[in-house]
Amino acid sequence: LPIFSLAQEAVRVEYEARQEFDRSKVEKTSAKANELFKNSEDKRYYFESLVNNKNSFFKEIERINNTPHVASFGLSPNVSSTIFKDFETKELYERNIMMPKAFVKDSIQTFPWVLTKVEKIILGYKVRKAIYENNNQMVEAWYALDLPFRDGPSRFNGLPGLILEISFKVPFAVDMDSNVIFTAIDLKPYQGIIELPKKSSIVAKDEYQKELDKKTTKLKSITPQGVDRD
């Protein structure tokens, strides 16, 4: 049974993430590619989110894995980024793979959720389904009204309860998408402080974009032999 009350101040939720590849538009794939896709769909990733009504901190966590290593496609870096949200200032700070020592400052995204009355149970909590649709995809989220935190995995937020499950599409290749599913597998009270790591370097989004453009230009100027063009 659920162990939290509406008065709970903060929680730590652990999510298991997996991905499924939509190969409906691909005419044929090799045996090696099919093996890669199967390995990738079998692989699991784990994240934790520390949440209260003011802040949240989302990051990937390492799990001991004794299974033999197999080749697979990883999650998109945009999905597995470390993210801190400040709900009072509506600011979001993301640690990006291109600048791993800094947090890029952005705004918390607003999602035009459509609430439904469809229900199911996750971790003993009654959750309701909400959807968000744009030109590219439909996001399906399940949130718990008994956990009054307006947050969820990655950048998702804004529902009247904590998101315990969500599925959404990310581009993978020209004719293929990956459907990513986050599902809560553990939920506990949290007593600690939720904040950015001490001495974090903060970079404005426009500054980050300029640095990214510089690196992209430099990569384009390198020949296949690894020699800079004049």
Average pLDDT, the chain: 84
Q: Is the pLDDT of residue 16 over 60?
A: yes
Report the pLDDT value the prediction gives residue 174, as an integer from 0 to 100.
58
Query: What distances in angstroms separate CA 65 from CA 124, 173, 185, 204, one per listed residue?
Result: 27, 28, 17, 37
Q: Identify the band that residue 219 occupies on the pLDDT scale cut at 50, 70 and 90.
A: low
- Convert the pLDDT of each residue in 178-214 to its tens digit: 789 999 999 999 999 999 988 888 988 888 878 777 7
The CA-atom distances, in angstroms, between 230 and each of 211, 212, 217, 218 are 21, 21, 14, 12
**Mean pLDDT calculated for residue range 153-173:** 90
Mean pLDDT computed over 39-43: 79
* DSSP reduced 3-state for 215: helix
Q: pLDDT tens, 66-82? A: 566 677 676 776 787 89
Identity (one letter) of the amino acid at 167?
Answer: S
Specify the 3-state DSSP secondary structure of 4.
coil
Mean pLDDT of 19-24: 76
Tokens of 148: 């009054």
Amino acid at 66: N
6 burial (CB, 10 Å; 0-12 / 13-18 / 19+) is exposed
**Cα–Cα dist 57/87, whole Å:** 11
Question: What integer pLDDT is reported at residue 96 of this predicted model?
Answer: 72
pLDDT value, residue 68: 64
Q: State the DSSP code for 134.
A: -
Share of the chain above pLDDT 90, in %: 50
Residues 84-103 have pLDDT tens digits of 999 999 999 998 777 778 89
Cα 135 to Cα 122: distance, rounded to the nearest angstrom:
29
Q: What is the pLDDT of residue 24?
A: 66
> For residue 25, is pLDDT > 90?
no
Kindly tell me if the per-residue pLDDT of 7 is higher than 50.
no
Token pair 């949130």 is found at 143
**Model confidence pLDDT, tens digit, residues 131-155:** 998 877 889 999 999 999 999 999 9
Please give the Cα distance from 126 to 9 (Å, whole number). Answer: 19
